[in-house]
């Protein structure tokens, strides 16, 4: 097996860094001038891009992004899934322009007729009968967690080590000593110790799940069908079925967050793998870039919530902690309707999945040829390489395989070759506009860049 030479990595990274700095003077200058932005960026996580300063966006269309220095990139980051429909897909643009311009009324607190169409489409794909809309997946998770606690009368949420579900307080937990959840490193000022709100288990380890559920205080298991925010960690055969079975046995709800795993197919992993969630959460991509999210609840959860609202001990229409003023606004509803109805279609998913399969094969070929100790995992339209072989089985194993130096080198080297990868990890996502030529371009660049390291 090839071994990583850190001295060579450092030299290669320095060369890529110098090339990046030289070729992006305008981005560099804008970053230097941004004195009134905390961290010099509109949101602090934009500093996650490698290279010391982020690229500044000029324009984007389909799967191409152009920066202010005039470079155009093949975009495999796609806004970390927010742009899985491609940048500014024509049907979404038309629907948004119509609502914003001709019709007007982005935020009126009034429903539009289109909302039911979106609800029906979400039901058709993901199976849940009743939907509410939000402006982000984070909000969908937060509000749905409240409903889960209300419906079950239980206080805690069970999550998996190294999961990510947005800035949801309950979810920043790792299994700690004496079976108590503890805060994940870097968690910004948690409101209460994590073991008061959360139970933490290990992915692909049903025993760890059962141990936590047996306390009888878990309202919901909150999980993705595959971990996607610590690399892709796929479920082993029987794991998702086991979660369903354990949730039912211990009286907890199963809450599936498909914000990223929607890449699995037209109906997400839920449809592809026959999952049976009690609560379903989605966000990011379904509005074609316009902020939106949604959660669907089962008839049983809806009935339990309604019992409480009718009894007057929970308020879901005013200031009870579920909902937001702009949620369900006419603009995001129009965007969801167009994006789901005309862009992220079954045909689009077939195309995207075929390309992700080719992407995966291209990466695997280089890894095999150079005997590199990395792996690549695919989930429908997305694929991601990880610095471990075989592919990690748990969040803990995947976290141990993280390597900031390698991440920085690969991101910068790809960027310098006209390819954008997701800055938070090495994820590549296909959109309806991605072509086979784009994938081949990555395959070639990957061979060159990894060859320079291991060849
Ligand atoms: N759920 C999952 C699985 C996610 O990966 C993310 C963000 N990466 C979120 C929820 C939160 O999405 P947002 O930041 O758009 O609220």
- Contacts of residue 144, defined as CB under 8 A and 6 or more positions apart, other chains included, come to 255, 279, 281, 295, 297
pLDDT at 455 (0 to 100): 85
For the record, the structure tokens of 16 come out as 């890529």
C-alpha–C-alpha distance, residues 115 and 134, integer Å: 12
CB 136 within 8 A of CB 243: no
pLDDT at 5 (0 to 100): 97
DSSP state of 342: I
**Could you tell me if the CB of 263 is within 6 A of ligand 1?**
no
pTM: 0.98
pLDDT at 426 (0 to 100): 86
Question: Which residue lies with its CA nearest to atom 8 of ligand 1?
Answer: 166
Q: How far is the CA of 22 from the centre of ligand 1 (A)?
A: 34
Distances in Å between the Cα of 79 and the Cα atoms of 54, 65, 74, 140, 188 are 14, 11, 13, 19, 23
452: helix, strand or coil: helix
Ligand 1: nearest atom to the Cα of 166: 11
Question: Which residue lies with its CA nearest to atom 7 of ligand 1?
Answer: 166
**Could you tell me if the CB of 134 is within 6 A of ligand 1?**
no
**Could you tell me if the CB of 258 is within 6 A of ligand 1?**
no
pLDDT at 424 (0 to 100): 77
DSSP state of 84: T
| Backbone φ, ψ for residue 132 (5° rounding) | -130, 150
**Could you tell me if the CB of 257 is within 6 A of ligand 1?**
yes
**Could you tell me if the CB of 81 is within 6 A of ligand 1?**
no
pLDDT at 423 (0 to 100): 87
CB-count exposure of residue 189 (10 Å: 0-12, 13-18, 19+): exposed
Q: How far is the CA of 259 from the centre of ligand 1 (A)?
A: 6
**Could you tell me if the CB of 143 is within 6 A of ligand 1?**
no
C-alpha–C-alpha distance, residues 26 and 65, integer Å: 16
C-alpha–C-alpha distance, residues 269 and 311, integer Å: 36
Ligand 1: nearest atom to the Cα of 138: 16
Q: How far is the CA of 139 from the centre of ligand 1 (A)?
A: 9
C-alpha–C-alpha distance, residues 243 and 228, integer Å: 18
Q: Please report the domains of the chain, with CATH numbers, ordered by start residue.
A: 6-84+347-454 (3.90.1150.10), 90-343 (3.40.640.10)
Q: How far is the CA of 285 from the centre of ligand 1 (A)?
A: 10
CB-count exposure of residue 352 (10 Å: 0-12, 13-18, 19+): buried
User: What is the block-wise mean pLDDT of the chain (455 residues), using blocks of 10 residues?
Assistant: 96 98 98 98 94 97 98 98 98 98 96 98 98 98 98 98 98 96 97 98 98 98 98 98 98 98 98 98 98 98 98 94 96 98 98 98 98 98 97 98 96 97 91 98 98 95
**Could you tell me if the CB of 425 is within 6 A of ligand 1?**
no
- The closest alpha carbon to 393, from 239, 286, 220, 277, belongs to 239
């Amino acid at each position: 097996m090839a071994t990583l030479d850190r001295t060579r990595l450092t030299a290669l990274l320095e060369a890529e860094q110098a090339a990046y700095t030289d070729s992006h003077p305008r981005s560099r200058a804008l970053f230097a001038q941004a004195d009134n932005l905390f961290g010099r960026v509109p949101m602090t996580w934009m500093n996650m891009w490698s290279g010391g300063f982020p690229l500044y966006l000029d324009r984007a269309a389909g799967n191409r992004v152009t920066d202010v220095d005039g470079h155009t990139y093949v975009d495999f980051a796609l806004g970390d899934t927010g742009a899985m429909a491609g940048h500014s897909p024509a049907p979404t643009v038309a629907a948004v322009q119509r609502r914003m311009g001709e019709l007007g009324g982005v935020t009126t607190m009034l429903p539009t007729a289109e909302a039911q169409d979106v609800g029906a489409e979400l039901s058709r794909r993901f199976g849940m009968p009743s939907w509410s809309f939000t402006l982000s997946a984070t909000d969908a998770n937060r509000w749905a967690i409240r409903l889960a606690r209300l419906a079950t009368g239980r206080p805690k949420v069970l999550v998996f080590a190294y999961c990510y579900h947005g800035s949801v307080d309950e979810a920043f937990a790792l299994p700690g000593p004496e079976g108590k959840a503890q805060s994940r490193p870097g968690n910004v000022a948690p409101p209460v110790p994590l073991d008061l709100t959360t139970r933490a288990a290990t992915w692909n380890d049903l025993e760890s799940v059962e141990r936590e559920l047996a306390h009888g205080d878990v309202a919901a298991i909150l999980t993705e069908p595959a971990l996607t925010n610590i690399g892709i960690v796929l479920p082993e055969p029987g794991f998702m079925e086991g979660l369903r079975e354990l949730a039912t046995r211990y009286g907890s709800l199963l809450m599936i967050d498909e914000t990223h795993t929607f890449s699995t197919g037209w109906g997400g992993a839920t449809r592809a793998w026959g999952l049976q969630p009690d609560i379903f959460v989605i966000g990011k991509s379904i509005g074609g870039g316009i902020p939106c999210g949604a959660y669907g609840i089962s008839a049983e959860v809806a009935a339990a919530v309604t019992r409480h609202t009718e009894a007057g001990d929970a308020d879901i229409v005013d200031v009870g902690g579920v909902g937001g003023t702009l949620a369900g606004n006419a603009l995001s509803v129009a965007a969801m309707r167009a994006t789901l109805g005309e862009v992220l279609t079954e045909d689009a998913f077939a195309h995207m999945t075929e390309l992700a399969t080719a992407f995966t094969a291209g990466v695997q070929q280089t890894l095999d040829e150079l005997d590199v100790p990395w792996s690549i995992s695919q989930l429908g339209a997305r694929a991601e390489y990880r610095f471990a072989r075989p592919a990690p089985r748990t969040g803990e194993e995947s976290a141990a395989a993280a390597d900031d130096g390698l991440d920085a080198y690969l991101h910068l080297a790809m960027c310098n070759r006209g390819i954008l990868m997701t800055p938070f990890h090495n994820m590549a996502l296909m959109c309806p506009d991605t072509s086979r030529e784009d994938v081949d371009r990555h395959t070639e660049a990957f061979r060159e860049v990894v060859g320079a390291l291991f060849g």
